Every structure is written in C-alpha cells, then in structure tokens.
Amino acid sequence: MLNKYARAFFTRVLTPFAAFLLRRGVSPDAVTLIGTAGVVAGALWFFPRGEFFWGTITITLFVFSDLVDGNMARQAGVSSRWGAFLDSTLDRVADAAIFGGLALWYAGRGDDNVLCAVTIFCLASGQVVSYTKARGESIGLPVAVNGLVERAERLVLSLTAAGLSGLQIFGVPSWIGVVLPVALWAVAVGSLVTLVQRVVTVRREAAEADAADAASGSGAH
C-alpha cells in the first residue's frame, strides 16, 4: 500500500540527487551495491548490540538507494533486466540483514526467545511473500493483488519502531521499548495475511488461465 503513494513522492524528491550522481559518473548498479552494503553493515553492526536508534538512522540513509538507482536508470535511459534483477535480489539481502540483526539481539542480550522466533518469522515470511509474486509472474500470471503488508510496510513499521525504541539512550522512558515488539508482531501477522492473499490470488488466476487454455484448445478442434 505504501508503495503506491510514497514511491512517487520520494521519486520526485530524489530526482535532483539522482541527476547529480549521474553527472558525476556514478552508475545505478554502483548505487544499488553501496546502498545494500550500507544497510547490511548498519543492521548487523548496531542491531545485535541493541543500538536501535543509530542502526535505524544508518539503515534509513542507505535504504533510499532503492529509489535512487531506479531513478538514475530511467534518467539515463539504461533501464535493463539485469538492473531489475540485481535490485530485487539485493532487496532480499537487505531485508534479511535487518530482521537478522534484530533476531540476533533477541537471541543474545535481548534474551527473548519468543521475539527471536517472531523476528525470524518476519524474515522468512517476507522472503516468501516476495517469492510468491515473482514465481506467479514467471508462469505468466499477473498476481494482481495489493497485499496488506508488503516490503515498504515491513520496513517502515520495523525501522520506525526500532528507532523509537532506541530513543531510550536520550532519556526517553523505558516503556518506549514496547513499540518494537508490538511492531514485529504486527509485521508477522500482516505478512501472513499478505502471503495468504497472494496464494489465493495465484490459485484463482491459475485456474482461470488453465480454463482459458482448455477452452482455446477445444475451440481449435
């Protein structure tokens, strides 16, 4: 849902920066790689140590590369299948690092096995949600459904909650730490609902496509 409204806004905001990078000879692929490396480093360095505020700031700075690289490719007229593949693949790497870093915190100093399991479920379900769309499209189906919690929602909910929880280092009362567990549960439930939505949609679209193929075959005779 957020993709529909937020992406267009941030694309307009980041267009001048994308143009600046192109004038400096930076390639879209380089931005993709640097952005992913920054997200992974920030997530795996700060989150397992419980430094949620600075981890969120670092990740947020780099996560916008996901919008900048595509903007650059369009401006330069070099959009390609390779670029789309690289971007999508590294998105999965970044997501895994974010939820993996949170899981490491709960498995270690955070000392909460239940929340560790919830976070791992967020990681796994997010990957499967993305896979269902990609696999459905690869067999010729449109997968025409806007899921309840897609990638943008997962990141916004999780990173906002992590950043707020990290405000404790500035003297904010410790109750703010409850925000992150609540957000992770919300992401887990929302991801499950989204997965069901996509599976049901693919099943319906596949049945309709098979029926159309059968009818077309019968008509040919």
Q: Rounded to whole angstroms, what are the CA distances from 36 to 24, 28, 32, 103, 144?
A: 20, 12, 6, 19, 28
Coil, strand, or helix at residue 173? coil
Q: Rounded to whole angstroms, what are the CA distances from 162 to 23, 39, 53, 144, 184?
A: 36, 14, 7, 32, 10
Tokens 């399991």 sit on residue = 117
Active site residues: 91
Residue 156 CA to residue 72 CA, distance in Å, equals 23
